[in-house]
Amino acid sequence: MSKEQSGKTTRRAFIGTATVATAAASFTGPTAGADQSTNPAGTIKLAEANVDVPEQLAARAKAGDWTKPAAMAIPKEGYFKLEQGRYGPVFPKTPANYGFTIIAKIKPGREDAIRAYGKTIENAVAGSPFVLAPLRLHYLRWVLFNIGSDTYFMYQGIFDTDFDKYTEDAIALFKATGVDTVFENLEGFPADWKTNTTAFTKFVRDHQCPSFLEYGEYPFVTADEIKKALKVKASLSAMLDQMQ
């Protein structure tokens, strides 16, 4: 191998190592330790029954500890202890951060309108990529499905704000952009939602179906932290490419 080839190989190896290390370091959280190694086959260790896993996960969420994957089993109420927020019980931060799943029956004949609204959102984001930024979303998923002869709409979202703030921010966003909400096509949705935040939030809470398990491969990490890490990776890779 020539000296030039050896130099390129060394730099490329350094790119991979340094990029991963720098991207990981940009997350706010404890440094990953030796306990991250996987268990040998057949030696999976389960937490003992008397270990308060939710309490441990709450501490990790507060510390922003993303170093180990985490799973959280959630009571059917959607929370571990009753704590009143602005509009109802406060839902916990999970390894997937905050989120909700709203399921409601659509008004008869409104399926096409709901599907068209998906195209409206697609165009809005294409025209202004950060139009939904105030919602601090990780992702959205919309689904239409039938139960008997009725069609239902499912709205799933994962985001970095709490449940109630997300709803308030959504109302403010709709007002600012002049775009009506897809919820107008759902049965029981308040007609005065633009001026009645309480009624809007009550509808969302009444149709919320709490999950009973949430998992995060890189838990408690915000969308902004993920984007920052990827920017660091891209910048470092570009810089090292100039050394070729």
The answer to the question of residue 6 being in a domain is: no
Q: Could you give the angle at the alpha carbon of 129 between the alpha carbons of 124 and 111, nearest 5°? A: 35
Nearest-angstrom CA–CA distance, 72 and 58: 10
Nearest to 100 by CA among 188, 159, 29: 159
- Please, which pLDDT band fits residue 215 given cuts at 50, 70 and 90? very high
- Which CATH number do you get for residue 77? 3.30.70.1090
Cα 133 to Cα 124: distance, rounded to the nearest angstrom: 12
Angle at 232 between CA 38 and CA 138, to 5 degrees: 70
Domain total in the chain: 1
DSSP the chain: --HHHHHHHHHHHHHHHHHHHHHHHTSSSPPP-GGGSPPPTT-PPPPPTTS-HHHHHHHHHHHT--SS-EEEE--TTSSSS--B-SSSBPPPPBTTBEEEEEEEEBPTT-HHHHHHHHHHHHHHHHHSTTTTGGG-EEEEEEEEEEETTEEEEEEEEEESS-HHHHHHHHHHHHHHHTPPPGGGGBTT--TTTTT-HHHHHHHHHHTB---SEEEESSTT--HHHHHHHHHHHHHHHHHHHTT-
Whole-structure pTM value: 0.76
Q: Would residue 2 count as lying in a domain?
A: no
Question: Cα–Cα distance between 232 and 60 in angstroms, integer?
Answer: 24
Domain assignment of residue 232, yes or no: no
Does 164 fall in a domain? yes
**pLDDT band at residue 14, thresholds of 50, 70 and 90?**
very low
Which amino acid, 88? G
Range of the domain at 86: 72-216
pLDDT classification of 30: cutoffs 50, 70, 90:
low
In a domain, 45, yes or no: no
pLDDT digits (tens, 9 = 90+) for 19-29: 444 444 445 45
With respect to residue 32, please indicate whether it lies within any of the assigned structural domains: no
By percentage, how much of the chain surpasses pLDDT 70?
Answer: 79
Over pLDDT 90: what percentage of the chain?
57
Q: Is residue 202 part of a domain?
A: yes
Mean pLDDT, residues 100-126 taken together: 95
Band (51; pLDDT cuts 50, 70, 90): low
* DSSP per-residue letters across 88-110: SBPPPPBTTBEEEEEEEEBPTT-
Residue whose token pair is 């403010």 = 172
Q: Is residue 62 part of a domain?
A: no
